[in-house]
Structure 1
Amino acid sequence: MARVPGATAAVRRAVRRVVADADGTVLVACSGGADSLALAAATAFVAPRAGLRAGLVTVDHGLQEGSAARAAGVAGWARAAGLAPVEVATVAVGRAGGPEAAARSARYAALDDAADRLDAVVLLGHTRDDQAETVLLALARGAGPRGLAGMAAARGRYRRPLLDLPRATTAASCAELGLIPWEDPHNTDPAYARSRLRSAMDELESLLGKGFRTNLARTAGLVAADCALLDEQAATLLSTVDTGTGLDVAALAAAPAALRTRVLRAFALRLGAPGSALTAAHVASLDALLTDWHGQGPVYLPGAITVHRRAGLLSP
């Protein structure tokens, strides 16, 4: 048996670990770039040997000339590689939150739809470099632990097999397999924050050392573990202070801030506040109803939600 080249073997191992507990169908979200193309090729090899059906979804955002042809080319390659089902999802990108956020929302809506119909797990091609960029952007934006935790390796139906591998490995795997990745022009377009950051990452690494990206990604893993524990404790606290008609002010006010603010965020989400619009400022205003109470009026949350402090309770 011919020896599998090193980068391709590494990507296959990463996929094998992630799909070990999957059942039925796995779908690769593939743009045609090096990361997702290497992931798709590895999944086409690994999944059938694990008794799984492996398919692919490529999303046409319609934002670039030739995007439909690019999506059709990815789909044609996927079918030839033995992936099935293969779908092209054509989406309409809105404007809410800016171009990056709007495209992301449209993309995930399409992936959710495909996963729902096919009862599938979705594999995403984010690498260690993407994780490092996410952490650095979170730092620049003043994010809390949730932002610094970066992208989760697994959340719901989504899996990110390549988070421990550098982007260079996926590029090398494509070269080993004779695959020609698509180079997304948005990756070098200074209109996008992540693109501007990517252009600076090499310089930062030259200043801070070659382990710069790895260390940022490691930070995300450490913070994510802490967040998971705090979230678990906050869920227990929420069940304790929830009276059925509101949150017990005295009991919640006595809790540590790290737990209290998590409970308030979870409470706001449960009331229907959209997570994408719920900010730290909203949570801080809710917290003031507990810890800086001087008879102030209600807090207004996204989603036309109003929270009052009345008769010792926080309630809508």
Structure 2
Amino acid sequence: MGPPGASRRTSAAPAGGRPLPRTSAALDLRHALRDWLARYAPTGVVAVALSGGADSLALTAAALAEAEVVDALIVDHGLQTGSDRVAAEAAAAAESLGCRAVRVLPVEVGDDGGLEAAARQARYAALDEAREGLPVLLGHTLDDQAETVLLGLARGSGARSIRGMAEFSDPWGRPLLRVRREATRQLCADLGLHPYEDPHNRATEFTRVRLRTEVLPQLEEVLGGGVATALARTAEQLREDGDVLDMLAGQLLDTATDGPELSIETLTTAPAALRRRAIRAWLLAGGAKALTDKHLRAVDALVTDWRGQGGVAVGGGKPGIRLVATREHGKLTLRFAR
């Protein structure tokens, strides 16, 4: 069952969808989908999050050319006048392309964390509820990855913040992270599709929009091109390295764990990169929220620079009660304190 108000329609189009032209854009997307499906969804049955924009329309067309079965999930955020019409047009496009089933998912967007964050939270919750166990393909491209890396650099939270988006983080799949945005637009043109142009994508009050329209073009001009590709490649390399470090940090965490506490002696002898990753995982598992580099380094100092300092509040508490990491009797502990 989908969220309340969701509609379901089954397409009469044959499996396999509309044939794609043998253009460079079509080949780029087909190769990307073929590679992703082989690694992450060998059954070939997937859902696509379709907004009606060029990226998700092109993704849907390419998925239909490579996957066995494709369902389309369309989230109507209701944030703009006529959003229901945009959703209906996206649904019609999905049916004409050959999706097995099409669902429109109306959602209510709150205000927690700002409009962008609230809309994202509502969207992912609706997609997760409606996907019926299938992986959900998202239309993020190489250009989106480059923007994500730049945002991570601005946060300054280390390699983790510039690892970008993963190709697959169950149930979310991103097959187009090596495909340029211009290729998705070109494929839509090749197919005679008319993507929806979201006015939010031109609203300069959003940081990501200014990165896309101002910062990245200027970097490309100053540095002689290839910046977006280089940023995406850097993210991929850092993610590969980070996965190995996370695995080793998990082993360290297992060794250091003593019930709900961590052994200071075990942590002290570990390299900083592994120790901080292990501490981070322990804090998150204990309920810590919105961890920053400052939090992590302060807790790490309880291990490596112990001078009798007090505990470190790490977020995740309740009204009037803090979640605090402290050092006691050679152990790191995590508890609620007033």
- Asked if Structure 1 and Structure 2 have the same fold, meaning a TM-score greater than 0.5 normalized by the shorter chain, the answer is yes
Aligned length: 308
Q: Which is worse superposed, 158-167 or 134-143?
A: 134-143
**In 2: Cα distance, 1:61 partner to 1:120 partner:** 22
Residues 100-119 of structure 1, C-alpha deviations (whole Å, 9 max, x = no match) = 2222222111122123xx11
Q: Does 1:302 align with 2:302?
A: no
- Which AA in structure 1 matches 2:120? R
Q: Does 1:209 align with 2:229?
A: no
Match of 1:166 among 169, 180, 185: 180
Q: Where is the helix percentage greater, Structure 1 or Structure 2?
A: 1
Alignment match, 1:223: 238
Alpha-carbon shift at residue 24 of structure 1 (Å): 6.2
Q: Does 1:236 align with 2:236?
A: no
Alignment match, 1:252: 267
Give matches, 1:89-100, under 5 Å: 89-100=105-116
Q: Which is worse superposed, 87-96 or 176-185?
A: 87-96
**In 1: Cα distance, 2:291 partner to 2:101 partner:** 37
| Conserved? CA contact 1:145–1:223, under 8 Å | yes
- Which AA in structure 2 matches 1:124? L
**In 2: Cα distance, 1:174 partner to 1:209 partner:** 29
**In 2: Cα distance, 1:105 partner to 1:207 partner:** 36
Alignment match, 1:313: 331
Instruction: Report the identity percentage.
Output: 49
Alignment match, 2:122: 106
**In 2: Cα distance, 1:3 partner to 1:66 partner:** 32
Alpha-carbon shift at residue 8 of structure 1 (Å): 1.3
Alignment match, 2:6: none
| Conserved? CA contact 2:37–2:44, under 8 Å | no
- Which AA in structure 1 matches 2:174? R
**In 2: Cα distance, 1:140 partner to 1:75 partner:** 37
Alignment match, 1:81: 97
| Conserved? CA contact 1:24–1:120, under 8 Å | no
Alignment match, 1:122: 136
Q: Which is worse superposed, 294-303 or 60-69?
A: 294-303
TM-score (norm 1): 0.93
Alignment match, 1:154: 168
Please identify runs of 4+ aligned residues in structure 1 that moved more than 4 A.
none
TM-score (norm 2): 0.87
Residues 84-126 of structure 1, C-alpha deviations (whole Å, 9 max, x = no match) = 32211222222232222222222111122123xx110111111
Match of 1:15 among 33, 39, 46: 33
Match of 1:42 among 62, 71, 75: 62
**In 2: Cα distance, 1:125 partner to 1:303 partner:** 32
Alpha-carbon shift at residue 9 of structure 1 (Å): 2.1
Residues 8-29 of structure 1, C-alpha deviations (whole Å, 9 max, x = no match) = 1221221111112413631111
Alignment match, 2:190: 176
Structure 2 residues without counterparts, runs of 5 or longer: 1-18, 318-322
Alpha-carbon shift at residue 256 of structure 1 (Å): 1.5
Residues 133-157 of structure 1, C-alpha deviations (whole Å, 9 max, x = no match) = 1111111222311111111111122
- Which AA in structure 2 matches 1:15? L
- Which AA in structure 2 matches 1:247? L
**In 1: Cα distance, 2:171 partner to 2:45 partner:** 11
Q: Aligned-residue CA RMSD in angstroms?
A: 1.7
| Conserved? CA contact 1:25–1:119, under 8 Å | no
Q: Secondary structure at the match of 1:308?
A: strand
Alpha-carbon shift at residue 296 of structure 1 (Å): 2.3
Alignment match, 1:139: 153
Change beyond 3 A, Cα 1:272–1:85: farther
Structure 1 residues without counterparts, runs of 5 or longer: none
| Conserved? CA contact 2:76–2:106, under 8 Å | yes
